[in-house]
Structure 1
Amino acid sequence: MYIGFDIGGTSIKYGVLNEQGEIIEKAMISTNHEKESLLQDLANITKKYQQQYPDIKGIGVSAPGIIQKDGFMTTAGAIRPLYETNLKEEIEQRTGLPTAVENDANAAAIAEKWLGAAQGIDNYLCMVLGTGVGGGIVINGEVYRGAHGMAGEFGYMMINELPTAGNIEHSSLNLRGAVVGGLSRLYNAARKKEHPETEETLGAKEIFQRAEDGEPLAGQILARYYEELASGLLSLLSAFDPEVILIGGGISANEVFMTGLQEKTLELAKRHGSISFLLGKTIGEIKQAKLKNDAGMIGAVYLVKQLVD
């Protein structure tokens, strides 16, 4: 048995998995953005599971940011207190269990190769949509990490016109194509502008429902969201020539979203002179990741399983 953690900017998903990667049980807590409290949460959950399952062999952790092979987190996405922390060492000191720590999108890519939609595929990308936009790159069957562990930070890509001054990251995929940092942020900012008195902050599910109910603002924001995310996907398709790009994260379970994204990507591809000629020949597909919200946890457990074995 193994414990898996998928640490996100908003919540931490965790559970117990067996040797085959099957989830025996799982739960979720809110992410504590104070370092010691977060680490203590992980230790407490581990202790609880060790009492229930005495044969726990190790811990697999999926987390956002630029993570080195030794578990050192150069960055940690929205979880600022974990920047420049060796999360592997911190967890092992508190639990005494072998621990593997991997970038969330890399972990998702590994999981899809092991048990998901990338079985039998050697060249593919995983894009994970959540608080930000993460990416996993698999080339010739191996995760590509880059020279500094930074490869796959798809969210850093610039996808539209740069502002004339200030932080150009506002034009990045993280702040345009992510679910929290992009869709929800853009919708709530536009809604606040129309109705300054509003205090309610709406998530993706409510925005999709409002669009379905015919609200003009929700429809406009979603149309823009699809276009900017599809623009990023076209860049990745042409830069890496993958067999497929798998879309993960909680929003990927929404069939309306997946259909809208696939249709918009195809529409833009047909409008691109060079790419349009390659459709049906060399341009990869955009597909739903099979393991969805569990992918990060499963991939991280696969890595610690390899470590223990």
Structure 2
Amino acid sequence: MKYYAGIDIGGTRIKMGIINELGEVIVNENEETKKEKLELFTQIDHFIKRHPYQIEGVGLSTPGVIRSDGYAQTSGAIHCFLNCYVQQELEAFLHLPVIVENDAKSAAMAEKWIGAAKDEDSFACLTLGTAVGGAIYMNGQLVRGLGGLAGEFGVALSSLQPGDYNEHSFSYHAATVAGLCREYSYSVKERVLDARVIIERSQQGDEVAKLCLSHFYHAVAVLFVNIAVMIAPEVIIVGGGISENQEVMEAIEEEYQNICKDYHVLSLVEMPHILTCQLKNDAGMIGAVYSFLRRYKKINDGNSI
């Protein structure tokens, strides 16, 4: 059995795993993300060296628009990676082969490998977190697009008004932190950055929380509709922490179905089903390793390794 390091970098926490060639997570650790590049590289190096496994390579999942050569055109909350050849620099530091992959694309590849999408040829994966991330599979293959931009659903605009484009993006309305938490915090003049707090307050009768959640459900459902009519996937798979809340997912799907019913054109056509990611918080690590295997082992999606 061969082993690989799967690293999933988030703005607050970094998830690091030892993963075998079947996608099984053997070691799983979670630490605070270091902010400087050298510290971050050292953090990864120390993780690999303190475990008794011969590591064949490293799959790194990170926010941002990542080119196929591992260059980060954008880097989200990982500011030290901006305009950086992350793959080349990390390979030189670790003395191991490395693949760098966008976090949402990593999640999609994990679900395609051993998760909810393993039997799907065409699907979109949507991650609802600090911002909205996404990935597209068509005809069994991941779609990267120009410079890795394909699937960046959160950057899409939800308004026709000129100017203030960040405020018109779907991340500004349909992400749990940039959207839901921002609107609620502004409304109650209190900084709330955890969607679970808003959900709990809604259940306790907080009318502002209920209203903000209804706006959030509608924004996500509209994004589903736009994805459906633009790329027509068989299913849309939803990940991110909030996807683990069954009540929230049912509310989003109900709003999606209402739009499909009320919008006459959509009521006449087959629309994608909504599924929830199966691999939860491990998806980024597993998918980054799968990306490594696809590149270096020349495997095809849907085939066993």
Q: Given the two structures, how large is their TM-score scaled by the length of structure 1?
A: 0.91
Q: Please state if 1:14 is matched with 2:16.
A: yes
8 Å contact from structure 2 (residues 184, 192) kept in 1: no
Whole-Å Cα distance in 2 between the matches of residues 132 and 307 of structure 1? 28
AA in 2 matched with 1:262: E
Paired residue for 2:210, among 219, 222, 231? 219
CA shift for structure 1 position 65:
1.1
Query: 2:83 maps to what in 1?
Result: 84
Where do 5+ consecutive residues of structure 2 fail to align? 298-305
Whole-Å Cα distance in 1 between the matches of residues 54 and 38 of structure 2? 27
Q: Please state if 1:66 is matched with 2:65.
A: yes
AA in 2 matched with 1:7: I
AA in 2 matched with 1:146: G
Whole-Å Cα distance in 1 between the matches of residues 170 and 215 of structure 2? 12
In the TM superposition, what whole-angstrom CA distance separates every residue of 1:54-95 from its partner, at most 9, and x where no partner exists?
Answer: 322111111111111111111112222211111111221121
8 Å contact from structure 2 (residues 107, 284) kept in 1: yes
Q: Secondary structure at the match of 2:233?
A: coil
8 Å contact from structure 1 (residues 9, 131) kept in 2: no
Whole-Å Cα distance in 2 between the matches of residues 31 and 112 of structure 1? 25
Whole-Å Cα distance in 1 between the matches of residues 28 and 13 of structure 2? 13
- Tell me how many residue pairs correspond in the alignment: 295
Paired residue for 2:290, among 277, 302, 306? 302
Q: Given the two structures, how large is their TM-score scaled by the length of structure 2?
A: 0.92
Q: Secondary structure at the match of 1:148?
A: helix
AA in 2 matched with 1:179: T
Whole-Å Cα distance in 1 between the matches of residues 46 and 184 of structure 2? 37
Give 1:1-309 correspondences, 5 Å limit. 1-48=3-50, 52-160=51-159, 162=161, 166-192=163-189, 198=190, 200-278=191-269, 282-309=270-297
8 Å contact from structure 1 (residues 10, 131) kept in 2: no
Q: Secondary structure at the match of 2:268?
A: helix
Q: Secondary structure at the match of 1:54?
A: coil
CA shift for structure 1 position 101:
0.9
Whole-Å Cα distance in 2 between the matches of residues 291 and 109 of structure 1? 10
Whole-Å Cα distance in 2 between the matches of residues 136 and 7 of structure 1? 17
CA shift for structure 1 position 308:
4.4
After superposing on structure 2, the runs of 4+ consecutive aligned residues of structure 1 that deviate more than 4 Å are none
Q: Secondary structure at the match of 2:218?
A: helix
Whole-Å Cα distance in 1 between the matches of residues 74 and 43 of structure 2? 20
In the TM superposition, what whole-angstrom CA distance separates every residue of 1:196-225 from its partner, at most 9, and x where no partner exists?
Answer: xx4x53401111111111111111110000
8 Å contact from structure 1 (residues 129, 248) kept in 2: yes
8 Å contact from structure 2 (residues 87, 99) kept in 1: yes
| Closer, same or farther: CA 178–221 of 1 in aligned 2, 3 Å | same
AA in 2 matched with 1:100: I
Q: Secondary structure at the match of 2:174?
A: coil
| Closer, same or farther: CA 167–78 of 1 in aligned 2, 3 Å | farther
Q: Secondary structure at the match of 1:251?
A: helix
